[in-house]
Structure 1
Amino acid sequence: MVNITKDTEKEELIAQFWPQISRAAAGYENRPALSDELAQEMALSVWRSLEGFNDQCSLSTYIYRVIHNTAIDHIRRHSKISEDELDEAMLCESPTPEKNTLQAQRQKQLIVAVNQLPLSLRQVMLLKLEDLNNIEMSEVLGISEANVGVRLHRAKEQLSKLLAGMN
Protein backbone atom coordinates (compact mmCIF):
# COMPACT_ATOMS: atom_id res chain seq x y z
CA MET A 1 0.00 0.00 0.00
CA VAL A 2 1.33 3.41 -0.98
CA ASN A 3 1.14 5.97 1.80
CA ILE A 4 1.63 9.52 0.65
CA THR A 5 2.02 11.63 3.76
CA LYS A 6 5.15 13.72 3.29
CA ASP A 7 4.60 17.26 2.07
CA THR A 8 7.42 16.94 -0.47
CA GLU A 9 5.76 13.86 -2.01
CA LYS A 10 2.47 15.73 -2.22
CA GLU A 11 4.15 18.77 -3.79
CA GLU A 12 5.81 16.58 -6.40
CA LEU A 13 2.50 14.92 -7.30
CA ILE A 14 0.70 18.25 -7.54
CA ALA A 15 3.46 19.56 -9.82
CA GLN A 16 3.34 16.38 -11.91
CA PHE A 17 -0.45 16.59 -12.36
CA TRP A 18 -0.67 20.39 -12.65
CA PRO A 19 -1.12 20.36 -16.46
CA GLN A 20 -4.04 17.94 -16.13
CA ILE A 21 -5.52 19.98 -13.28
CA SER A 22 -5.27 23.18 -15.33
CA ARG A 23 -6.86 21.59 -18.40
CA ALA A 24 -9.67 20.09 -16.34
CA ALA A 25 -10.34 23.44 -14.66
CA ALA A 26 -10.48 25.18 -18.04
CA GLY A 27 -12.77 22.45 -19.33
CA TYR A 28 -15.26 22.92 -16.52
CA GLU A 29 -15.04 26.69 -16.10
CA ASN A 30 -14.89 29.25 -18.94
CA ARG A 31 -14.40 32.35 -16.84
CA PRO A 32 -10.62 32.83 -16.44
CA ALA A 33 -10.69 34.00 -12.82
CA LEU A 34 -12.97 31.16 -11.76
CA SER A 35 -10.96 28.68 -13.82
CA ASP A 36 -7.81 29.67 -11.93
CA GLU A 37 -9.71 29.43 -8.66
CA LEU A 38 -11.03 25.99 -9.61
CA ALA A 39 -7.53 24.76 -10.50
CA GLN A 40 -6.25 25.87 -7.09
CA GLU A 41 -9.24 24.22 -5.42
CA MET A 42 -8.55 21.00 -7.34
CA ALA A 43 -4.90 21.03 -6.32
CA LEU A 44 -5.87 21.59 -2.68
CA SER A 45 -8.40 18.75 -2.85
CA VAL A 46 -5.76 16.42 -4.29
CA TRP A 47 -3.29 17.53 -1.59
CA ARG A 48 -5.79 16.83 1.19
CA SER A 49 -6.95 13.52 -0.20
CA LEU A 50 -3.57 11.92 -0.85
CA GLU A 51 -3.28 10.56 2.68
CA GLY A 52 -6.50 8.63 2.06
CA PHE A 53 -5.18 6.91 -1.07
CA ASN A 54 -5.34 3.17 -0.44
CA ASP A 55 -4.33 1.46 -3.72
CA GLN A 56 -7.90 0.51 -4.70
CA CYS A 57 -7.10 1.96 -8.12
CA SER A 58 -4.10 3.54 -9.78
CA LEU A 59 -2.85 6.80 -8.32
CA SER A 60 -3.62 8.71 -11.52
CA THR A 61 -7.21 7.38 -11.55
CA TYR A 62 -7.58 8.43 -7.92
CA ILE A 63 -6.27 11.92 -8.66
CA TYR A 64 -8.57 12.30 -11.69
CA ARG A 65 -11.50 11.22 -9.52
CA VAL A 66 -10.65 13.90 -6.94
CA ILE A 67 -10.21 16.53 -9.68
CA HIS A 68 -13.53 15.76 -11.32
CA ASN A 69 -15.44 15.50 -8.04
CA THR A 70 -14.09 18.93 -7.11
CA ALA A 71 -15.25 20.27 -10.48
CA ILE A 72 -18.74 18.90 -9.93
CA ASP A 73 -18.89 20.61 -6.53
CA HIS A 74 -17.72 23.84 -8.19
CA ILE A 75 -20.44 23.61 -10.83
CA ARG A 76 -23.05 23.11 -8.15
CA ARG A 77 -21.86 26.28 -6.36
CA HIS A 78 -21.57 28.53 -9.41
CA SER A 79 -24.13 29.27 -12.05
CA LYS A 80 -23.54 28.36 -15.67
CA ILE A 81 -21.91 30.95 -17.86
CA SER A 82 -24.19 32.70 -20.32
CA GLU A 83 -23.38 32.95 -24.01
CA ASP A 84 -22.86 36.72 -23.65
CA GLU A 85 -20.34 36.22 -20.84
CA LEU A 86 -18.54 33.60 -22.92
CA ASP A 87 -18.34 35.92 -25.93
CA GLU A 88 -17.09 38.75 -23.73
CA ALA A 89 -14.47 36.54 -22.09
CA MET A 90 -13.19 35.39 -25.47
CA LEU A 91 -12.98 38.99 -26.74
CA CYS A 92 -11.02 40.08 -23.65
CA GLU A 93 -8.25 37.56 -24.22
CA SER A 94 -5.11 39.23 -25.47
CA PRO A 95 -4.12 38.02 -28.93
CA THR A 96 -0.89 36.08 -29.29
CA PRO A 97 0.76 34.69 -32.41
CA GLU A 98 -0.35 31.16 -31.51
CA LYS A 99 -4.00 32.25 -31.23
CA ASN A 100 -3.84 33.60 -34.77
CA THR A 101 -3.23 30.18 -36.24
CA LEU A 102 -5.94 27.90 -37.49
CA GLN A 103 -5.04 25.32 -34.85
CA ALA A 104 -5.62 27.79 -32.03
CA GLN A 105 -8.99 28.73 -33.49
CA ARG A 106 -10.00 25.08 -33.70
CA GLN A 107 -8.90 24.53 -30.11
CA LYS A 108 -11.06 27.43 -28.98
CA GLN A 109 -13.99 26.05 -30.92
CA LEU A 110 -13.46 22.67 -29.30
CA ILE A 111 -13.33 24.18 -25.81
CA VAL A 112 -16.50 26.17 -26.46
CA ALA A 113 -18.23 23.11 -27.86
CA VAL A 114 -17.12 20.85 -24.99
CA ASN A 115 -18.39 23.40 -22.49
CA GLN A 116 -21.80 23.32 -24.18
CA LEU A 117 -22.15 19.59 -23.57
CA PRO A 118 -24.26 18.38 -20.65
CA LEU A 119 -22.12 17.61 -17.58
CA SER A 120 -22.32 13.81 -17.96
CA LEU A 121 -21.02 14.02 -21.54
CA ARG A 122 -18.52 16.79 -20.76
CA GLN A 123 -16.93 14.61 -18.08
CA VAL A 124 -16.20 11.69 -20.40
CA MET A 125 -14.98 14.00 -23.17
CA LEU A 126 -12.58 15.84 -20.86
CA LEU A 127 -11.20 12.54 -19.58
CA LYS A 128 -10.88 11.27 -23.16
CA LEU A 129 -8.96 14.41 -24.08
CA GLU A 130 -6.66 13.57 -21.16
CA ASP A 131 -6.08 10.23 -22.93
CA LEU A 132 -7.75 8.01 -20.33
CA ASN A 133 -9.16 4.75 -21.62
CA ASN A 134 -12.73 3.58 -20.99
CA ILE A 135 -11.72 1.42 -18.02
CA GLU A 136 -9.96 4.34 -16.33
CA MET A 137 -12.88 6.65 -17.09
CA SER A 138 -15.32 4.19 -15.54
CA GLU A 139 -13.19 4.07 -12.38
CA VAL A 140 -12.93 7.86 -12.19
CA LEU A 141 -16.64 8.45 -12.75
CA GLY A 142 -17.93 5.42 -10.88
CA ILE A 143 -19.98 4.14 -13.82
CA SER A 144 -19.79 1.01 -15.98
CA GLU A 145 -17.51 0.76 -18.99
CA ALA A 146 -20.59 0.32 -21.17
CA ASN A 147 -22.02 3.57 -19.82
CA VAL A 148 -18.72 5.31 -20.54
CA GLY A 149 -18.90 4.04 -24.12
CA VAL A 150 -22.47 5.26 -24.56
CA ARG A 151 -21.67 8.68 -23.08
CA LEU A 152 -18.54 9.00 -25.19
CA HIS A 153 -20.47 8.13 -28.35
CA ARG A 154 -23.17 10.68 -27.52
CA ALA A 155 -20.56 13.32 -26.64
CA LYS A 156 -18.77 12.81 -29.96
CA GLU A 157 -22.04 13.07 -31.89
CA GLN A 158 -23.02 16.29 -30.11
CA LEU A 159 -19.53 17.74 -30.51
CA SER A 160 -19.62 17.03 -34.24
CA LYS A 161 -22.92 18.87 -34.55
CA LEU A 162 -21.73 21.79 -32.41
CA LEU A 163 -18.46 22.14 -34.32
CA ALA A 164 -20.24 21.90 -37.67
CA GLY A 165 -22.53 24.75 -36.59
CA MET A 166 -19.52 26.94 -35.73
CA ASN A 167 -18.04 26.77 -39.24
Structure 2
Amino acid sequence: MIFVTVGTHEQPFNRLIKTIDLIKHKGIIKEDVFLQIGYSTYIPKYCEYKRFLSPSTISKLMDEASIIITHGGPSSFVEALQHNKMPIVVPRQKKFNEHVNDHQLFFCRELHKRGFPIKVVEDEGSLYNILGFNNTHLQNKFKSNNKTFNSDLESLVNELFNK
Protein backbone atom coordinates (compact mmCIF):
# COMPACT_ATOMS: atom_id res chain seq x y z
CA MET A 1 0.00 0.00 0.00
CA ILE A 2 1.14 3.54 -0.77
CA PHE A 3 0.21 6.18 1.80
CA VAL A 4 -0.01 9.85 0.84
CA THR A 5 -0.49 12.66 3.36
CA VAL A 6 -0.88 16.38 2.73
CA GLY A 7 -1.16 17.42 6.38
CA THR A 8 -3.58 19.94 7.82
CA HIS A 9 -2.59 23.20 6.11
CA GLU A 10 -5.76 24.99 5.01
CA GLN A 11 -4.79 25.50 1.35
CA PRO A 12 -5.63 22.67 -1.07
CA PHE A 13 -2.87 20.43 -2.40
CA ASN A 14 -4.79 19.37 -5.51
CA ARG A 15 -1.63 19.01 -7.61
CA LEU A 16 -0.38 16.08 -5.52
CA ILE A 17 -3.77 14.43 -4.94
CA LYS A 18 -4.79 14.62 -8.60
CA THR A 19 -1.41 13.38 -9.83
CA ILE A 20 -1.46 10.31 -7.56
CA ASP A 21 -5.08 9.59 -8.50
CA LEU A 22 -4.25 9.75 -12.22
CA ILE A 23 -1.10 7.63 -11.83
CA LYS A 24 -3.25 5.01 -10.11
CA HIS A 25 -5.91 5.25 -12.84
CA LYS A 26 -3.31 4.74 -15.59
CA GLY A 27 -2.14 1.57 -13.89
CA ILE A 28 1.35 2.90 -13.19
CA ILE A 29 0.71 2.17 -9.53
CA LYS A 30 -0.47 -1.42 -9.10
CA GLU A 31 -0.89 -1.50 -5.33
CA ASP A 32 -3.58 0.11 -3.21
CA VAL A 33 -3.26 3.81 -2.42
CA PHE A 34 -4.66 5.65 0.59
CA LEU A 35 -4.76 9.45 0.46
CA GLN A 36 -5.17 11.89 3.35
CA ILE A 37 -6.38 14.88 1.32
CA GLY A 38 -6.93 17.60 3.94
CA TYR A 39 -8.51 20.70 2.43
CA SER A 40 -7.90 19.65 -1.17
CA THR A 41 -10.87 20.29 -3.44
CA TYR A 42 -9.98 17.57 -5.94
CA ILE A 43 -11.84 14.43 -4.92
CA PRO A 44 -10.00 11.19 -5.83
CA LYS A 45 -11.83 8.77 -8.10
CA TYR A 46 -9.39 5.86 -8.11
CA CYS A 47 -7.89 5.86 -4.61
CA GLU A 48 -9.30 5.44 -1.13
CA TYR A 49 -9.16 8.68 0.87
CA LYS A 50 -10.16 10.65 3.94
CA ARG A 51 -9.78 14.34 4.60
CA PHE A 52 -8.19 14.00 8.02
CA LEU A 53 -6.91 11.12 10.12
CA SER A 54 -6.06 10.68 13.77
CA PRO A 55 -2.36 10.52 14.68
CA SER A 56 -2.74 6.83 15.57
CA THR A 57 -4.30 6.07 12.17
CA ILE A 58 -1.51 7.93 10.37
CA SER A 59 1.05 5.96 12.36
CA LYS A 60 -0.68 2.67 11.50
CA LEU A 61 -0.85 3.54 7.79
CA MET A 62 2.81 4.59 7.75
CA ASP A 63 3.73 1.32 9.39
CA GLU A 64 1.81 -0.68 6.77
CA ALA A 65 2.87 1.37 3.74
CA SER A 66 5.54 0.22 1.33
CA ILE A 67 5.93 3.83 0.11
CA ILE A 68 5.08 7.07 1.92
CA ILE A 69 4.54 10.32 0.03
CA THR A 70 4.21 13.52 2.07
CA HIS A 71 4.02 17.27 1.73
CA GLY A 72 7.12 19.23 2.79
CA GLY A 73 6.09 19.74 6.41
CA PRO A 74 8.81 18.29 8.63
CA SER A 75 6.52 16.50 11.07
CA SER A 76 5.12 14.28 8.30
CA PHE A 77 8.37 13.25 6.66
CA VAL A 78 10.18 12.88 10.00
CA GLU A 79 7.39 10.56 11.16
CA ALA A 80 7.92 8.46 8.02
CA LEU A 81 11.62 8.23 8.93
CA GLN A 82 10.65 7.17 12.46
CA HIS A 83 8.80 4.27 10.81
CA ASN A 84 12.08 3.43 9.04
CA LYS A 85 10.77 4.47 5.62
CA MET A 86 12.45 6.92 3.27
CA PRO A 87 9.66 9.31 2.24
CA ILE A 88 9.02 10.89 -1.11
CA VAL A 89 8.53 14.54 -0.19
CA VAL A 90 6.53 16.84 -2.49
CA PRO A 91 6.88 20.39 -1.11
CA ARG A 92 3.89 22.67 -1.39
CA GLN A 93 4.63 25.64 -3.66
CA LYS A 94 3.36 29.19 -3.63
CA LYS A 95 3.02 29.40 -7.44
CA PHE A 96 0.32 26.71 -7.25
CA ASN A 97 -1.43 28.44 -4.29
CA GLU A 98 -0.53 25.48 -2.06
CA HIS A 99 1.11 27.62 0.62
CA VAL A 100 1.77 31.26 1.50
CA ASN A 101 5.45 31.01 0.44
CA ASP A 102 8.03 28.46 -0.69
CA HIS A 103 9.54 27.63 2.70
CA GLN A 104 8.77 23.90 2.26
CA LEU A 105 10.58 23.86 -1.07
CA PHE A 106 13.68 25.67 0.22
CA PHE A 107 13.78 23.63 3.44
CA CYS A 108 13.47 20.27 1.66
CA ARG A 109 16.09 21.20 -0.94
CA GLU A 110 18.51 22.15 1.84
CA LEU A 111 17.88 18.94 3.78
CA HIS A 112 18.41 16.87 0.64
CA LYS A 113 21.61 18.77 -0.16
CA ARG A 114 22.90 17.98 3.35
CA GLY A 115 22.22 14.28 2.85
CA PHE A 116 18.99 13.96 4.82
CA PRO A 117 17.33 10.69 3.70
CA ILE A 118 14.35 12.10 1.79
CA LYS A 119 13.50 11.97 -1.91
CA VAL A 120 12.42 15.50 -2.91
CA VAL A 121 10.05 15.74 -5.87
CA GLU A 122 9.15 19.21 -7.15
CA ASP A 123 6.98 18.41 -10.16
CA GLU A 124 4.38 15.93 -11.28
CA GLY A 125 6.49 14.54 -14.13
CA SER A 126 9.18 13.44 -11.70
CA LEU A 127 6.55 11.75 -9.56
CA TYR A 128 5.31 9.80 -12.62
CA ASN A 129 8.88 8.73 -13.36
CA ILE A 130 9.68 7.68 -9.79
CA LEU A 131 6.48 5.68 -9.32
CA GLY A 132 6.47 4.31 -12.87
CA PHE A 133 9.81 2.53 -12.81
CA ASN A 134 10.79 -0.38 -10.61
CA ASN A 135 10.36 1.42 -7.31
CA THR A 136 11.79 -1.23 -4.99
CA HIS A 137 14.55 1.24 -4.07
CA LEU A 138 11.85 3.40 -2.51
CA GLN A 139 10.60 0.49 -0.45
CA ASN A 140 13.94 -0.13 1.23
CA LYS A 141 13.69 0.60 4.89
CA PHE A 142 15.70 3.47 6.25
CA LYS A 143 17.67 2.74 9.42
CA SER A 144 17.04 5.57 11.87
CA ASN A 145 19.71 6.63 14.34
CA ASN A 146 17.21 8.35 16.65
CA LYS A 147 17.74 5.95 19.56
CA THR A 148 21.52 6.23 19.38
CA PHE A 149 21.37 10.01 19.05
CA ASN A 150 18.98 10.33 22.00
CA SER A 151 21.08 8.00 24.13
CA ASP A 152 24.28 9.91 23.32
CA LEU A 153 22.56 13.24 24.00
CA GLU A 154 21.22 11.98 27.32
CA SER A 155 24.70 10.82 28.33
CA LEU A 156 26.18 14.19 27.38
CA VAL A 157 23.53 16.13 29.33
CA ASN A 158 24.00 13.88 32.37
CA GLU A 159 27.75 14.33 32.16
CA LEU A 160 27.40 18.12 31.96
CA PHE A 161 25.03 18.34 34.92
CA ASN A 162 26.91 15.88 37.08
CA LYS A 163 30.19 17.77 36.91
- Structure-2-length-normalised TM-score: 0.25
More helix by percentage: 1
